[in-house]
Amino acid sequence: MLVVVLALSSGAPGRALEAAQGAVAPEESSPQYAQARSELAPLLPIHSEQLSAVTRYRLAILSSRAATQNDPALCAIVISAIELTPLLAEQLSQIQGRLLEQGDTQALDTFTAKIQKATTLLPGIGLVVGTEGVRSYVDYRQLAQLFRAGPVSRDLLQTMGEFSPAPLGWPVYLEPQTDLGGCSRPTALLDPVRRLGQSWQRGPACLKEVLEGEIVKSVSAATTSSCMCSTRTETSDGMHKLAAVLKTVGLAKAEAVTNSNVEHLPERRFECKAGN
Amino acid sequence: MATSTAVRFTVSGATLSAAPGDTRILNNGSTVPAQDIQISGNDILLSGALSDGLNTFTVMSTDSDGNALSAEATVWAGSSTLQITVSGGGTSTATVSARLGDDPSVTQTVATVNNQATLINVPARTVLLTASTPDNRYATAAITGDAGTVTLNLQAFNNPVTTINNDFSQGVTGWLPSDPAVIQLVPHVEQVGGSASVSPGPSVTTLKKLIPFAAMKQKRTLARAQGVGRHLARQKLMQPLDASSDQDLALTTSGEGPQSVSYTFNVDPGMSSVTVRYRFVTAEVPGGYFGSQFDDGYSVSLRNSSGSGNTSDINSMNALGLGAFDAGGSTGWKELTLPVNAAGDSVEVDASVSNVGDDLYDSQIIVDYVAELPLAVSADLTTACPNQTVTFTAQGGSAASATWTNGGTPATGSGSSFPTRFTSKGDYTVQASAGGQSAAASVHVSDTSGPAWTSLYPTSTSVDDLVEPFRTNVTNFAGALVDADASISISATLRPRERAYLMHYAYAIAKQGQDPSAVPPMQGVDICWQHYDESGNKDSGGSVSAAAQMVASYGIAYPPALTSRHTEGLAIDWSISWSGDLMIGDATGKTVTITSTPRTGAGNSDLWDVGSTYGVHKLQSDPPHWSDDGH
């Protein structure tokens, strides 16, 4: 049996390796691997190396359902989902870009259908074919449902899903105005963060480490956006509230980021309308 | 030196062993007889050990403590006297220069007395001779050092031709040969020459491999008897002329000794230099005689009527090195350039080629063209970025002494090359001046990337900028929405392709690791994605930072496509909302009552159906996006 290492070459193999202790999956020479790869290959026209990583991800999902689960295995899957989604989106967006330039609507429809089918085989990896490209997000709610991890982990994952809710995966703080963006409303993060607080302290360490990094990314993106939906006063007040809630939960890094960005608010546009 | 000259080796830093048997000396790989070696203190004296031509000595000895000593030395020696007669110069004293064909570093210069000059101790190898007088007369020849006598016929400066024939478009008109039979037109061949088209001459190592004279002579005599050498050589060198092709002039040897051709013409005022392009071809190379004493040579020279300038290329097969030749015995194309008076001048081109050692295996000089060139300036970049180094180069005439003005940093310079940097966007013209002429070249400096770009090429929010029939469809659907008291707010319709380009690559550089220097340019978008620091080095951090600022300023969260329905005018991003039930007419005239939620265009599928009747289709995955086909 092979210890599953889901990291990609451009990812963080060390972290994935550490987290993957205990998660097992069939070896790459196994019939299961070959079958999974043959299912995914027609749907995802991506580099072989990434197809291998995606195949290992699918096998890890299947193995984890069958095996006795534990927190390290769960963390390994979450890390893999976090690392895989943007890489997949980037490659698939390039393909979509070529189809757009060719103006081949039929090929675009086929491409969209394949991506949708691929996502059903890859729970936790959200891929959305937009008009400009393929967006990605981690579908934490799917992961929460798939895993019979402890209730605390499940609750954490469920709540993380509120940061970029399925099926579109659009960040909760970002109010869409165009295909590519919109204005930011940091206070939209208040409720998800509060709910995280109900179980955060009891969560497994490896999961908290991984999720905290993602929370910092969300908070940073929400509070550094140059285009704010509200007035300056409302935005400032909202960010102070957010910082306070983050502090209460124990998310110190995210709190620090928020406080720091409050100081840079004069550089933002308020009641902004993004026009792209 | 004379072959009779004694050669002394002196040991320093050690005491030479006095035992005769401790010292062994090789000359060209052969052991020098012991009786020719004398040991005296720290000196080793060789008597009568020099042979005519190249002598490569290898000395192996020991000191008094038994430590090994060794040394190598190369000496050219000769036993011939060359009597040179210089004719055609009246009573003027001529300067005669001699250069050994095998080794260009071996030279001798003498002045004539009563039109005579004598060179002594000349090796029986190819000697390249030139003679010139203060009144601009000139002669060259390539002979073997043991020829005994040679006459150099000084050529006066001829009268310029009346028909300019720099490229042989007029046949051989104006080109005056030593014998009419030795020039002819041949098709131009561009791809010629060996891997080392320019060679300073054979190295010592090469010279060690010179072909033994006796063996060579025997082989050539056999060839002569069979009538092979000349026949084969002619066949290889002379190719039929295709009348439609670019024509070159071939000057070919005829028997032993030199043949020549001259061309004199008036240079147009405003020209800064004259260049002749030529190559040397010898059947000796494919014949297998490289390195031998049959070291055919050539000379090409340019001189002007005032006598103020002349330049020449005098060389031989061995001096060029085997690497200079291709399998057919041709060198690559060579150029010789002479600065001329910009007010007007006359120039004479003289070329000669010599068959050395015997009359077999011909050689040629093939002239491609003679060009009259003004001082010219070029830049290595036509478009640059702020602080990027641009190198301007002057060519023609006195380019090497050019002075430069109007640069950036630095602002001025000298020499044929001038690197400079400009700090900001603009068009810059840098000027070079030399020899009373001036020339200039321009470079366009683009603007660096940064947030200022995001206000350019704005995305339209007007339905009028959509293309038909989508424009009418949207107009009708929007009208129905307004009639139904829905609230609409348009964020984007037509996105200019320039904006899509800027957004796409700003995002790619800032977020996806795109190399800023590898971004393809877009016509009409004068942007430098790659930034440079004040020293002209690439500033990767600055490039990424500027791109990130653009992304922030655009307010884009996802990577933009270069081509989309928006760039085609076939999409609209808008927010649609209403309260209560929405009673809206569809395109068929039927009124549809929408009671479902959410009461937004982004999420209400009943409204999507209504939109479809107008030909305005919702893309479900993008909340504000509607298009002509749902993409």
- Residues B380-428: tens digit of each pLDDT: 999 999 999 999 999 876 788 899 999 999 999 999 999 999 999 999 9
Rg (CA), chain A: 20
Separation in Å, CA of B627 to nearest CA in chain A: 9
Chains A, B: CB pairs < 8 Å: 122
Separation in Å, CA of A11 to nearest CA in chain B: 13
Nearest to A276 among B552, B554, B563 (CB): B554
Residue of chain B nearest A131, judged by CA positions? B631
Average pLDDT over every residue of A23-38: 79
Residues of A in contact with B627 (CB under 8 A): 131
Residue B286, CA atoms < 13 Å, CB-side half-sphere: 21
* pLDDT the model gives residue B12: 83
Tokens 């005439």 -> residue: B397
Neighbours of B613 (CB within 10 A): 18
* Per-residue pLDDT reduced to its tens digit, A98-122: 998 888 889 999 999 999 999 999 9
Selection from B620, B618, B493, B510 nearest residue B565 by Cα: B493
Please state which of the ranges A42-56, B231-245, B509-523, B526-540 shows the lowest mean pLDDT.
B231-245
Nearest to A276 among B492, B562, B575 (CB): B492
Residue B186 in any domain: the answer is yes
Whole-number percent of chain B with pLDDT over 70 = 91
Q: Does the beta carbon of B455 lie under 8 angstroms from any beta carbon of chain A?
A: no
Query: Residue B153: which region, alpha, beta or left (left: phi > 0; alpha: psi -120 to 50)?
Result: beta
Banded model confidence at residue A53, pLDDT cuts 50, 70, 90: very high
d(CA A81, CA B348): 79
* Domain hosting residue B211, numbered range: 175-373
Statement: residue B374 has pLDDT above 90: no
More confident of the two residues B503 and B136: B503
Task: Flag if A274 and B555 touch (Cβ within 8 Å).
Answer: yes
Structure tokens at B93: 């004293």
Q: Which of B153, B188, B215 is the last residue of a domain?
A: B153
Banded model confidence at residue A264, pLDDT cuts 50, 70, 90: confident
Task: Flag if A131 and B627 touch (Cβ within 8 Å).
Answer: yes
Statement: residue A67 has pLDDT above 90: no
Residues of B in contact with A276 (CB under 8 A): 459, 491-492, 495, 499, 503, 554-556, 560
Find the length of chain A: 276
* pLDDT the model gives residue B410: 97
Q: What is the CATH number of the domain that holds B414?
A: 2.60.40.10
Whole-number percent of chain B with pLDDT over 90 = 58
Non-local (6+) Cβ contacts of B183 within 8 A are B172, B175, B177, B249, B250, B251, B252, B261
Q: What is the CATH number of the domain that holds B143?
A: 2.60.40
Banded model confidence at residue A148, pLDDT cuts 50, 70, 90: low
Beta-ladder partners of A2: A25
Task: Flag if B492 and A272 touch (Cβ within 8 Å).
Answer: no
Same domain, residue pair B236 and B354: yes
More confident of the two residues B220 and B177: B177
Cβ atoms of B110 and B118 closer than 8 Å? yes
* pLDDT the model gives residue A65: 67
Residue B170 in any domain: the answer is no
d(CA A272, CA A244): 25
Residue B169 in any domain: the answer is no
Same domain, residue pair B277 and B425: no
* pLDDT the model gives residue B208: 29
Q: Does the beta carbon of B623 lie under 8 angstroms from any beta carbon of chain A?
A: yes
Statement: residue A124 has pLDDT above 50: yes
Q: In chain B, positions 600-619, which contact chain A (CB-CB < 8 Å)?
A: 602, 619
* pLDDT the model gives residue B196: 55
Amino acid at B278: Y
Residue B541 in any domain: the answer is yes
Please state which of the ranges A77-91, A176-190, B136-150, B532-546 shows the lowest mean pLDDT.
B136-150
More confident of the two residues B397 and B111: B111
* pLDDT the model gives residue B403: 96
Same domain, residue pair B68 and B100: no
Claim: this prediction has a pTM higher than 0.80: no
Statement: residue A6 has pLDDT above 70: no
Separation in Å, CA of B606 to nearest CA in chain A: 19
Statement: residue A1 has pLDDT above 80: no
Same domain, residue pair B213 and B243: yes
Same domain, residue pair B368 and B380: no
* Per-residue pLDDT reduced to its tens digit, B223-236: 444 444 443 334 34
Most A CBs within 10 Å, among B455, B491, B494, B522, to test the A interface = B491
Cβ atoms of A234 and A226 closer than 8 Å? no
Most A CBs within 10 Å, among B456, B573, B618, B620, to test the A interface = B573
Bridge pairing between strands B527-528 and B447-448? parallel
Residues of A in contact with B602 (CB under 8 A): 176
At A251, is the secondary structure helix, strand, or coil?
Answer: coil
Residue of chain A nearest B625, judged by CA positions? A179
Statement: residue B476 has pLDDT above 90: yes
Greatest Cα-to-Cα distance within chain B, rounded to the nearest angstrom: 127
* pLDDT the model gives residue B6: 87
d(CA B475, CA B497): 23
What stretches of B118-227 show up as alpha helix (H) in DSSP?
204-208, 213-226
What stretches of chain A show up as alpha helix (H) in DSSP?
13-19, 31-40, 48-66, 71-102, 105-121, 140-146, 151-160, 190-197, 205-224, 232-249, 252-262
d(CA B32, CA A153): 95
Average pLDDT over every residue of B332-361: 89
Query: Residue B148: which region, alpha, beta or left (left: phi > 0; alpha: psi -120 to 50)?
Result: left
Residue of chain A nearest B552, judged by CA positions? A226
Task: Flag if A273 and B491 touch (Cβ within 8 Å).
Answer: yes
Selection from A272, A190, A14, A199 nearest residue B489 by Cα: A272
Statement: residue A9 has pLDDT above 80: no
Statement: residue A12 has pLDDT above 50: no
Structure tokens at B147: 């020829």
Residue B223 in any domain: the answer is yes
Banded model confidence at residue B211, pLDDT cuts 50, 70, 90: very low
Q: Which of B422, B445, B468 is the last residue of a domain?
A: B445
Non-local (6+) Cβ contacts of B512 within 8 A are A90, B559
Max avg pLDDT among B26-40, B149-163, B611-625: B611-625
What torsion do the CA atoms of A32, A38, A44, A50 make, to the nearest 10 degrees? 50
Mean confidence (pLDDT) of chain B: 88
Sign of CA dihedral B543, B546, B552, B556: negative
* pLDDT the model gives residue B221: 52
* pLDDT the model gives residue A68: 52
Question: What is B386-432 written as a DSSP string?
Answer: TT-EEEEEEESTTGGG-EEES-SBSS-EESSEEEEE--SSEEEEEEE
* pLDDT the model gives residue A188: 97
* pLDDT the model gives residue B293: 83
d(CA B9, CA B156): 48
Cβ atoms of B526 and B425 closer than 8 Å? yes
Domain ranges in chain A are 1-113, 150-276
Same domain, residue pair B480 and B620: yes
Nearest to B561 among A132, A177, A272 (CB): A132
d(CA B620, CA A207): 33
More confident of the two residues B276 and A67: B276
Q: What is the CATH number of the domain that holds B24?
A: 2.60.40.1220
Separation in Å, CA of B302 to nearest CA in chain A: 59
* pLDDT the model gives residue B269: 82
Same domain, residue pair B218 and B357: yes
Average pLDDT over every residue of A241-262: 96
Same domain, residue pair B16 and B146: no
Bridge pairing between strands B183-187 and B247-252? antiparallel
Same domain, residue pair B73 and B86: no
Residue B162 in any domain: the answer is no
Residues of A in contact with B619 (CB under 8 A): 130-131
Task: Flag if A130 and B552 touch (Cβ within 8 Å).
Answer: no
Same domain, residue pair B33 and B139: no
- In eight-state DSSP terms, residue B32 is P
Same domain, residue pair B207 and B323: yes
Nearest to A276 among B556, B623, B629 (CB): B556
Statement: residue B348 has pLDDT above 90: yes
> Alpha carbon of A200 to those of A147, A160, B458: distances in Å?
18, 11, 45
Beta-ladder partners of B152: B86
* Per-residue pLDDT reduced to its tens digit, B158-207: 899 988 999 999 999 999 999 999 999 999 999 998 865 443 333 332 33
* pLDDT the model gives residue A275: 60
Q: Does the beta carbon of B625 lie under 8 angstroms from any beta carbon of chain A?
A: yes
Amino acid at B339: P
Residues of B in contact with A180 (CB under 8 A): 503, 554, 556-560
Max avg pLDDT among A5-19, A184-198, A260-274, B97-111: A184-198
Structure tokens at B164: 């300019």
Q: How many domains does chain B have?
A: 5
Residue B175, CA atoms < 13 Å, CB-side half-sphere: 30
> Alpha carbon of B231 to those of B181, B226, B288, B354, B393: distances in Å?
16, 10, 15, 18, 47
Mean confidence (pLDDT) of chain A: 86
Cβ atoms of A167 and B602 closer than 8 Å? no
Separation in Å, CA of B277 to nearest CA in chain A: 49
Neighbours of B401 (CB within 10 A): 15
Structure tokens at B248: 């070159």
Residue B165 in any domain: the answer is no
Selection from B433, B446, B375 nearest residue B407 by Cα: B433
Q: What is the distance of C-alpha B127 from the center of its chain?
A: 31
Q: Does the beta carbon of B495 lie under 8 angstroms from any beta carbon of chain A?
A: yes
* Per-residue pLDDT reduced to its tens digit, B527-566: 999 999 999 999 999 999 999 999 988 888 899 999 999 9
Bridge pairing between strands B591-594 and B582-585? antiparallel
* pLDDT the model gives residue A233: 95
Residue B386 in any domain: the answer is yes
Q: Chain A residues contacting B, CB < 8 Å? A: 90, 93, 96-97, 100-101, 105, 108, 128-133, 135, 168, 170-171, 174, 176-183, 221, 224-227, 272-276
* pLDDT the model gives residue A25: 52
Statement: residue B212 has pLDDT above 70: no
Please state which of the ranges B13-27, B369-383, B400-414, B580-594 shows the lowest mean pLDDT.
B13-27
Task: Flag if A105 and B631 touch (Cβ within 8 Å).
Answer: yes
d(CA A58, CA A123): 8
